[in-house]
A and B are shown apart, each in its own frame.
Chain A
Amino acid sequence: MKKSYAILFALTTVLYGLLPYALLRHWGGLAVLLFWVSSALLWIIFSLIILEKEFKGV
């Protein structure tokens, strides 16, 4: 596991959970739902791309 990926993973996971809480007043309502769904999908696609690279370095 590359350190850069690990740091990115930890930061993204924390941001994923807490960003809607930090910015809820400005976003509100459906924006939170759309943020969680779309960023989870992006994260899955991004992870699958990293997985291809990760197997070369195990």
Chain B
Amino acid sequence: MFPIVFTLYIVFGTIIALLSRRLGVKTTADYFVASYRLGGFLASMTYAATTYSAFMMLGLVGYSYATGVASLGFELIYLVATVGFLTLVGPRMWRLARERKWITPSEMLSDLYAWRPLGISIALIYMISLIPYTAAQLKGISEVASSLGLSYEVGVVIASIVLITWIILAGIWSVATTDAYQGILMISSAIALIVWTAAFLLPSKGIDLAKAINNLVNSSSGNLLDLTWSPEFFISMSTPWIFFAITNPHVVQRIYMPRDERSYKVMVKYFAFYGFTYTLITVSLGLLFRAYASTAIDPMIEHALVRERDSVTPTFLKLAHPLIASVVYTSIIAAAISTANSIVLTVASSITRDLYERRISVPNQRVSRAVTTISIVSLTIVAALATYYRPAFIVDLSVLSSVMLIPLAPITIIGVYSKPSRAKSYFALTSLLVGCGLTMALAIIKGPIRVLRETLMGIPISLLILVISTIIMLLPLLKQWLNVFHSKLS
């Protein structure tokens, strides 16, 4: 069943990408940000599909199965913070982007601080942190493909070809339209799975709502409706995600694209309700499957799944109807592809803009297109090779990517709301280098997983990096305040 569903998914996606070519791509601005003319629906769906990766159906379902309701708070605090940033910072960013013709977030920051080396440094940080993250998405696709009968290598090749094709056909237009298609597939398959779970799986073992709650309260991992995460672990995990909307370039770039105020508002509204629904469904799937497993699955397997959280969804899907299982597996691949192609397009846009177009007075559109195409193909090949050879540092870097980008949070907020000065741009670069350097140093000393989960001097490491980066960024303001204080005293 899976090969048929997967083939249909690829065929329909490619037809949609081909049709999107009719929307017209002539300039770099057309190719990367749709010349700021994306409608509200497309903008919201590309935002949602880009943000929500395969982590939702694999990682979050596993987390809620193993650790309970705390994973709901972790994922919802991300949504609450993202909607907050889209409400408070987004409108100004959207307006400035079309006034100053920003195409990439690195270009935005170099413009806000009026210093080009800052943009180039940020573009390099994007490459270091996000290519391993793309490789992690390709790895997820290949592992799903290999667990369903295809070889791992074939999975890598198919995923890479789909990635390149759906980007190159029409740039952001083919990415956004296929994202909309994939976003609908992701949410509808999640709804189908939870309806099947509630209507067939749980009743088949006589589990009603009261019994499900009882099973979760009395599970072998403790009361899963209480907070099983320590406050330090919760803060460590949540901090990078709270600032995701302003630190990750592939989502920041999407703020520039809506065609008017109405489209921007529609984007935020639809994304908020999509995220809220998708989060509730995925966490509920994990909890309901745990309630089922407590009654109906061998306790050895139930415990093994707590340790091997990424195996929860595949085990769950073995029980489902083959059609539902195939559609859900395909939706996991769709979630990974929609995130990966957005990252590759955004990093390619940073290369084209910061390393070619902004360095010469009159950029040639043909050369720009060639640089873009070479960048897209090269970035995908690098990610595919990393996926194929699976070097340990790639996995480490993909774990670290969210922490490495944290210093961009204060840099972006202060940049958007203050006037540029050379001193501020030096502090921004220092903040970036100290934040990323500290992340890398701690990763070498402690190991990348522990950077994301542990504390240093009692403070969660991700929060510590945010605080240090913010203090560095606030030093020029502190100096101003001290001068004012001194002048008043004298």
Taking a contact as CB atoms under 8 Å apart, the answer to whether B80 and A21 are in contact is no
Identify the closest chain B residue to A6 (Cβ): B88
* Residues in A whose Cβ lies below 8 Å from that of B77: 13, 16-17
* Residues in A whose Cβ lies below 8 Å from that of B273: 44
Q: Which of B80, B264, B269 has a CB less than 8 Å from the CB of A43? A: B80
Q: Which of B76, B94, B213 has a CB less than 8 Å from the CB of A30? A: B213
Interface string of A43-54 (1 = CB under 8 A from B): 110011011101
Identify the closest chain A residue to B271 (Cβ): A44
Query: Distance (Å) between the CB of B431 and the closest chain A CB?
Result: 19
In the complex with contacts A1-B89, A21-B227, A29-B223, A47-B72 CB distance below 8 A: no
* Residues in A whose Cβ lies below 8 Å from that of B81: 13
How long is the Cα–Cα vector from A33 to B261 in the complex, in angstroms?
A: 35
Q: Which of B72, B76, B238, B261 has a CB less than 8 Å from the CB of A55? A: B261
Taking a contact as CB atoms under 8 Å apart, the answer to whether B268 and A21 are in contact is no
Taking a contact as CB atoms under 8 Å apart, the answer to whether A48 and B272 are in contact is yes
Interface string of B145-173 (1 = CB under 8 A from A): 00000000000000000000000000000
* Residues in A whose Cβ lies below 8 Å from that of B9: none
Taking a contact as CB atoms under 8 Å apart, the answer to whether B231 and A21 are in contact is yes
Query: Distance (Å) between the CB of A5 and the closest chain B CB?
Result: 6
B225 contacts partner chain A, Cβ-Cβ < 8 Å: yes
Taking a contact as CB atoms under 8 Å apart, the answer to whether B235 and A17 are in contact is yes
Query: Distance (Å) between the CB of B201 and the closest chain A CB?
Result: 21
Taking a contact as CB atoms under 8 Å apart, the answer to whether B84 and A9 are in contact is yes
Identify the closest chain A residue to B84 (Cβ): A9
Which residue, B69, B88, B223, B234, has most C-beta atoms of chain A within 10 A? Answer: B88
Taking a contact as CB atoms under 8 Å apart, the answer to whether B88 and A13 are in contact is no
Taking a contact as CB atoms under 8 Å apart, the answer to whether B225 and A32 are in contact is yes
In the complex with contacts A36-B76, A44-B276, A54-B269 CB distance below 8 A: no
B91 contacts partner chain A, Cβ-Cβ < 8 Å: yes
Taking a contact as CB atoms under 8 Å apart, the answer to whether B276 and A40 are in contact is yes
* Residues in A whose Cβ lies below 8 Å from that of B269: 48
Q: Which of B88, B261, B264, B272 has a CB less than 8 Å from the CB of A50? A: B88
Query: Distance (Å) between the CB of B303 and the closest chain A CB?
Result: 23
Query: Distance (Å) between the CB of B26 and the closest chain A CB?
Result: 29
**Total count of chain A residues near the partner, CB < 8 A:** 31
Identify the closest chain B residue to A24 (Cβ): B227
* Residues in A whose Cβ lies below 8 Å from that of B217: 29
B480 contacts partner chain A, Cβ-Cβ < 8 Å: no
Q: In the complex, which residues 1-58 of chain A have their Cβ closer than 8 Å to any Cβ of chain B?
A: 1, 5-6, 9, 12-13, 16-18, 20-21, 24, 28-30, 32-33, 36-37, 40-41, 43-44, 47-48, 50-52, 54-55, 58
In the complex with contacts A41-B276, A48-B269, A17-B88 CB distance below 8 A: no
How long is the Cα–Cα vector from A23 to B273 in the complex, in angstroms?
A: 28
Identify the closest chain B residue to A37 (Cβ): B280
B95 contacts partner chain A, Cβ-Cβ < 8 Å: yes
Q: Which of A37, A40, A51 has a CB less than 8 Å from the CB of B91? A: A51
Taking a contact as CB atoms under 8 Å apart, the answer to whether A52 and B235 are in contact is no
How long is the Cα–Cα vector from A28 to B222 in the complex, in angstroms?
A: 13
Q: Which of A24, A29, A30, A51 has a CB less than 8 Å from the CB of B87? A: A51
Q: Which of A6, A9, A13, A18 has a CB less than 8 Å from the CB of B231? A: A18
How long is the Cα–Cα vector from A50 to B276 in the complex, in angstroms?
A: 18
* Residues in B whose Cβ lies below 8 Å from that of A44: 79-80, 83, 272-273, 276
Taking a contact as CB atoms under 8 Å apart, the answer to whether A13 and B89 are in contact is no
B265 contacts partner chain A, Cβ-Cβ < 8 Å: yes
* Residues in A whose Cβ lies below 8 Å from that of B231: 18, 21
Q: In the complex, which residues 39-97 of chain B have their Cβ closer than 8 Å to any Cβ of chain A?
A: 69, 72-73, 76-77, 79-81, 83-84, 86-89, 91-92, 94-95
How long is the Cα–Cα vector from A5 to B84 in the complex, in angstroms?
A: 10
B417 contacts partner chain A, Cβ-Cβ < 8 Å: yes
Taking a contact as CB atoms under 8 Å apart, the answer to whether A13 and B84 are in contact is yes
B242 contacts partner chain A, Cβ-Cβ < 8 Å: yes
In the complex with contacts A24-B226, A47-B83, A33-B91 CB distance below 8 A: no
* Residues in A whose Cβ lies below 8 Å from that of B234: 17, 21
Which residue, B226, B242, B261, has most C-beta atoms of chain A within 10 A? Answer: B226
* Residues in B whose Cβ lies below 8 Å from that of A28: 226
* Residues in B whose Cβ lies below 8 Å from that of A29: 217, 223, 225-226
Q: Which of A13, A32, A40 has a CB less than 8 Å from the CB of B226? A: A32
Q: List 14 A-B contacts (CB under 8 A).
A: A6-B88, A13-B81, A17-B234, A17-B238, A20-B227, A21-B234, A29-B226, A32-B225, A33-B69, A36-B72, A40-B80, A43-B84, A48-B272, A55-B91
Instruction: Rank and list the top 4 A-B pairs by shortest CB-CB distance, nearest first.
Output: A47-B87, A1-B88, A44-B272, A58-B91
Q: A6-B88, A13-B242, A47-B272 are in contact. List 13 more A-B contacts (CB 8 A).
A: A1-B88, A1-B92, A17-B73, A18-B231, A20-B73, A21-B231, A33-B225, A36-B69, A37-B280, A51-B87, A51-B265, A52-B265, A55-B91
